[in-house]
Amino acid sequence: MVSAPASANFLDGLQSYWDFDGGPADYMDKQGSLHMAEKGGSDLADIENKATGALIGRSVHATSAGHWLRSVSPMGTLNLTDEVTISYWLKMDNNSGLGQRRHYSHRVSNDPDNSVGTFNNFSSYNRMDFNGTNFWYVFLNANDGGASTNGGTSSSNIDFQVPVDTWTHRTLTISSDGTLKDNVAMVSETNYDQRNLTLNPWSNYQGIDTAAFASQFLTMAGSQNDPGNWTDEFAIWNRALTPAELQMVHDMGRNGVKLPEPATLGLLTLGLLAVGRRRR
């Protein structure tokens, strides 16, 4: 099966993803810098392009004191589908004498009580609230001891390793039933050591009423005990991206190249599809 060409909405959103500039520090596609600029002097996440098929978030680079999405002000209602895809940069500093690899994990947890305040040692988060039934917390956290299994009434993990002192571009698809898919497996990463993409065996989402699922709580945070955690330049797409679209996000993110002018986007998409056919 060959994926459908990337839609105009996706391309518009991707163009915005790589082109936006929010302050004195340029983005990677501009000058090779991976440090996020503050937008208007604030480190709040800024969600925009709701009509173009991409929900673009911005924040300063995250350390132990920073979060991708912060609960300083409401983000409002976002009309997400059953799956969403996020993309981001990740870097771990070798500040703990742990060698050239460090464990990281994505974790999804459910908190039916909709508690506010500290959750799982993270004290700041921003909820994407729809109908107010289920509240999913999606964490990206340092985890040098292996897969984490704490937090909430239901949880799943994707545990992996990253090289220290190196920026790695990744994507992750999150389903409304809590399933995680680490899309980085779809492309070859020369500086990436994939360790485990399986959910924890104890995780069971069969008891969750997916039809009643109406909210997602996306929090990307660094370990509060580790000042060497950096995350940067991320986007939240309001649907699961196709393989061709993921390939475009990866290629542009990994290589740090600017998106071609609109006139060449169609040719680029056709080229990616041709590559997909040859791989099959």
Q: Which residues pair with 83 in a beta bridge?
A: 175
Domain membership flag for residue 123 = yes
Question: Residue 245 — very low, low, confident or very high, per pLDDT cuts 50/70/90?
Answer: confident
What is the number of other CB atoms lying within 10 angstroms of the CB of residue 129?
Answer: 18
Check residue 32 and give its pLDDT.
Answer: 28
The burial class, CB within 10 Å (0-12 / 13-18 / 19+), for 113 is exposed
14 and 252 in contact (C-beta within 8 Å)?
Answer: yes
Tokens representing 16 are 């915005």
In degrees, to the nearest 5, what angle opens at C-alpha 130 toward C-alphas 115 and 53?
130
pLDDT at 87 over 60: yes
Of 119-133, 160-174, 222-236, give the lowest mean pLDDT range. Answer: 119-133
The burial class, CB within 10 Å (0-12 / 13-18 / 19+), for 92 is buried
pLDDT, one tens digit per residue, over 194-238 is 322 222 221 222 222 222 222 222 223 333 334 345 555 556 666
Mean pLDDT (whole number) for 32-47: 31
Domain membership flag for residue 222 = yes
**Residue with structure tokens 């392009």?**
49
What is the number of other CB atoms lying within 10 angstroms of the CB of residue 224?
Answer: 15
More confident residue, 92 or 29: 92
* Nearest of 129, 105, 88, 151 to residue 213 by alpha carbon: 129
Number of domains in the chain: 1
Domain with 146, as residue range(s), is 8-279
Domain membership flag for residue 2 = no
Mean pLDDT (whole number) for 47-71: 35
Question: Residue 3 — very low, low, confident or very high, per pLDDT cuts 50/70/90?
Answer: very low
Domain membership flag for residue 233 = yes
Of 39-48, 110-119, 146-155, give the lowest mean pLDDT range. Answer: 39-48
More confident residue, 2 or 94: 94
Helix axes 262-279, 8-19, angle to 10 degrees: 110
Q: Average pLDDT of the chain?
A: 45
* Nearest of 129, 145, 65 to residue 137 by alpha carbon: 129
* Nearest of 219, 78, 57 to residue 138 by alpha carbon: 219
Question: Residue 259 — very low, low, confident or very high, per pLDDT cuts 50/70/90?
Answer: very low
Domain membership flag for residue 3 = no
Q: Which residues pair with 186 in a beta bridge?
A: none
Domain membership flag for residue 70 = yes
Check residue 188 and give its pLDDT.
Answer: 35
How far does Cα 2 stand from its chain's mean position?
25
